[in-house]
Structure 1
């Protein structure tokens, strides 16, 4: 559930009204940029990881078929190989590289004690390393990329925040000789040197230290997910991949000593698609929590609060469109919605949280909560959201038509918003409209009319 605005997209930075170029406004723009850059990179990492897993899965399935074909030929190895090749040639969906790899794997996996003994220790080592490296493969490099992107996010946010508010490093001291002092042209250069030194030291510390520093800088009680095993383990697994070939090190054991896990020193820890997806979600949750805490910490006026609340709501919509429902569900379940004063933003976050929970299989629980949601005195936009969540097509049709006629809504939203994913085709037919290819891609009308929204914001902000 996004908020649509009758504004020119090109004149905005993040799909909403642009802020004045004040230090705090610039910082908020930067924070959103850093977060969205991380999420976009994660999306590409996950896309590649899924493609790779599908590619490898097709090879594994083809290998099984090739082995079955070989087995049907009895002890005649030559006939078995020809049967396997014929089986693989008949699959037009496989590339030539996949077919070659499948045949090679089938041959290598055939039980042949003479060949294994003949290859000796070198052959045994080759088989062991091949299996271990196959478990790491491209997905291990994707994990390394995820962690590197998060480290860049931490550096960017910390640097931007210290430029905005250097009180976190106010107590730092630096001794300078007279010769060193002469090299600096101003007090500002000395200050920047101290900040740079802090950043160098800070980035060499553990993820737990980063999260602790953010709590101090941003006056936050907690960074969501910062003490989860899955979050902290990501950094340690990245370390053993880069420095220990995927084998559990003593550092891994020491860093995770306060968490229960089954890994033992020297164990091989593979990286599969599920692990990469969970790692991405854990890092996205932490980054989102850091950003939201920073955004709220910059608020000094009613206008700034309105801007922040609007963007915090829009972030949940962006996440849903990227199929990151676990991040949305975690945020909404832990976030205090009473912090949001603006009615639309509060409703938007709540609705998007329900959509995420439904996607994650919590439909019955969501339905009970939505049923209890009192929208009787609210605008049609909220009533439409409730009807859509409950799958009440007749009510959704009624509110949609009424809002479209009033210029407060567009059929394009029905065709694109996650809110309507369960009743999309039926509702489009009911309102007798289809999303036009020439329509603007997003944000061309408000769910709540501009006049109504302005009056609500003025009331909520005490104007």
Structure 2
């Protein structure tokens, strides 16, 4: 499928490839799914960079290394590495005194001055001032990791803004009459600059949406609620969501310090910070922020797809893609995010197989994060007696009833209901596969064929094949 021209390739009855134009519903569905995929992939890269920084924080924020670089730039000669390390240690010892020391402040100052004098004798003539200035600057410079994480937060919020902006454009194109009733007027001079009605319309939409997105997160959500009669995205009204956006504004406009606007926008919450307090961004905060922002985008995509896709076939495929997205989130170990989606999304309104994929992946997020007791009772009560073997297999595997799960899986494999590719890649069946390997080993059976399949099937193998069913889903 070519998203740009809205075409799709089909195979004709004699095997030839034909190109057909996507229906408006199909085009909207594709755009929404691609936007969500884009946001997920970019968030993964941002979180990967944060993790990368965690692993190298000591190296990146090494004051002695930073001082050496400055000395090298200024002197261009060989550097006394031991001298730099010793000078940094002298300053750090003075700035963070040993609490068990009996020295008075005056004695500490005398020791500090003596240490600096001793250092001067160890350096080449005329170099002490450069070494001293470089070390002081290096110690006073905020850690680089702080700048990077703050920048990553700005990027996370920017990704949400980009995705929500594009969702708005896609929704308006699908339902243009939502912008009727405005008071915007064009002069003849403005109209004469365009070559077609389509260009006028596109310019009109651009200006309206640009104006909306100069506002707050609440303004963005109000646009969708009012223009498309969507239910409110409750996640966007939480402290976590609003605070992330306000923290971004403080980083960009107020040197990362609490501003009066920050306190004003969050006044309905119990905020204990004061003006000019630093707003620290660590990796855990970034992870939580990414989860909150993705939840908002996911809820909005869900709501728009539900409201504007008229075709039940397209709508079913749309929700199947959203369910499959939860599988990719499992692969990325975004368990807290999946828990959020499980609380926010009306999973029970989905039809059986799509609902199963969604529910099982949410339950798995609790299981993989050692929090399965929260949903254990829900899984135990999940009645599969009148359901297909897919549901029976999922329940048995979730409850670690591996023997029953293995028997069900074997029968499904024999009947062709469960593909071997799904069996060897579905995360839900990891313990079942391990039980299978042990059973084969104990029975001295040859597991070479199964191992070969495991080696050749990629991680992107679909979770399940979802039959076409009617869906009617509203998102809170």
TM-score, normalised via structure 1 length: 0.77
1:233 to 224, 228, 243: 243
Where does residue 425 of structure 1 map in the other structure? 434
Distance in structure 2 (CA, Å) of the matches to 1:21 and 1:439: 31
Distance in structure 2 (CA, Å) of the matches to 1:320 and 1:441: 11
Where does residue 36 of structure 2 map in the other structure? 35
Shift in alpha-carbon separation, 1:126–1:232, aligned structure 2, 3 A: farther
Matched, 1:171 2:181: yes
Deviations 1:186-228 (A, max 9, x none): 4333322221111221121111111221223443222141011
Gap runs ≥5 in structure 2: 1-8, 12-18, 65-80, 96-107, 117-128, 441-446
1:44 to partner: Cα distance: 0.5
Where does residue 456 of structure 2 map in the other structure? 438
Higher relative contact order (CA 8 A, sep 6+): 1
Distance in structure 2 (CA, Å) of the matches to 1:46 and 1:221: 30
Shift in alpha-carbon separation, 1:233–1:105, aligned structure 2, 3 A: farther
Where does residue 130 of structure 1 map in the other structure? 141
Where does residue 109 of structure 1 map in the other structure? 92
Structure 1 contact 135–270 (Cα < 8 Å) conserved: no
Matched, 1:44 2:55: no
Gap runs ≥5 in structure 1: 1-9, 13-17, 64-80, 86-99
Deviations 1:383-413 (A, max 9, x none): 1111110011101111121112222224443
Distance in structure 2 (CA, Å) of the matches to 1:58 and 1:424: 42
Where does residue 376 of structure 1 map in the other structure? 385
Structure 1 contact 144–238 (Cα < 8 Å) conserved: yes
Distance in structure 2 (CA, Å) of the matches to 1:164 and 1:292: 15
Where does residue 349 of structure 1 map in the other structure? 358
1:155 to partner: Cα distance: 1.6
Deviations 1:69-123 (A, max 9, x none): xxxxxxxxxxxx97xx9xxxxxxxxxxxxxx9x988655422265459999xx99
Comparing 389-398 with 163-172, greater Cα deviation is found at: 163-172
Deviations 1:270-293 (A, max 9, x none): 111111111111111111111111
**SS in structure 2 at match of 1:198:** helix
2:167 to 149, 157, 171: 157
For residues 199-210 of structure 1, the aligned pairs below 5 Å read 199-210=209-220
Where does residue 285 of structure 2 map in the other structure? 275
Shift in alpha-carbon separation, 1:360–1:11, aligned structure 2, 3 A: farther
Where does residue 97 of structure 1 map in the other structure? none
Structure 2 contact 425–454 (Cα < 8 Å) conserved: no
1:60 to partner: Cα distance: 8.3
1:174 to partner: Cα distance: 2.4
Shift in alpha-carbon separation, 1:200–1:129, aligned structure 2, 3 A: farther
Distance in structure 1 (CA, Å) of the matches to 2:247 and 2:43: 18
Structure 1 contact 410–445 (Cα < 8 Å) conserved: no
Where does residue 22 of structure 2 map in the other structure? 21
Structure 2 contact 57–145 (Cα < 8 Å) conserved: no
1:22 to partner: Cα distance: 0.4
Structure 1 contact 285–330 (Cα < 8 Å) conserved: yes
Where does residue 206 of structure 2 map in the other structure? 196
TM-score, normalised via structure 2 length: 0.75
Shift in alpha-carbon separation, 1:35–1:108, aligned structure 2, 3 A: farther
Distance in structure 2 (CA, Å) of the matches to 1:50 and 1:370: 33
Where does residue 385 of structure 1 map in the other structure? 394
Deviations 1:40-88 (A, max 9, x none): 000011011011012115778999xxxxxxxxxxxxxxxxx97xx9xxx
**SS in structure 2 at match of 1:111:** helix
1:264 to 274, 280, 283: 274
Shift in alpha-carbon separation, 1:299–1:27, aligned structure 2, 3 A: closer
Structure 1 contact 249–265 (Cα < 8 Å) conserved: yes
Distance in structure 2 (CA, Å) of the matches to 1:123 and 1:264: 34
Tell me the matched-pair count.
402
Structure 1 contact 230–279 (Cα < 8 Å) conserved: yes
Where does residue 334 of structure 1 map in the other structure? 344
Where does residue 90 of structure 1 map in the other structure? none
Matched, 1:295 2:313: no
Where does residue 73 of structure 1 map in the other structure? none
1:243 to 246, 249, 253: 253
Shift in alpha-carbon separation, 1:143–1:424, aligned structure 2, 3 A: farther
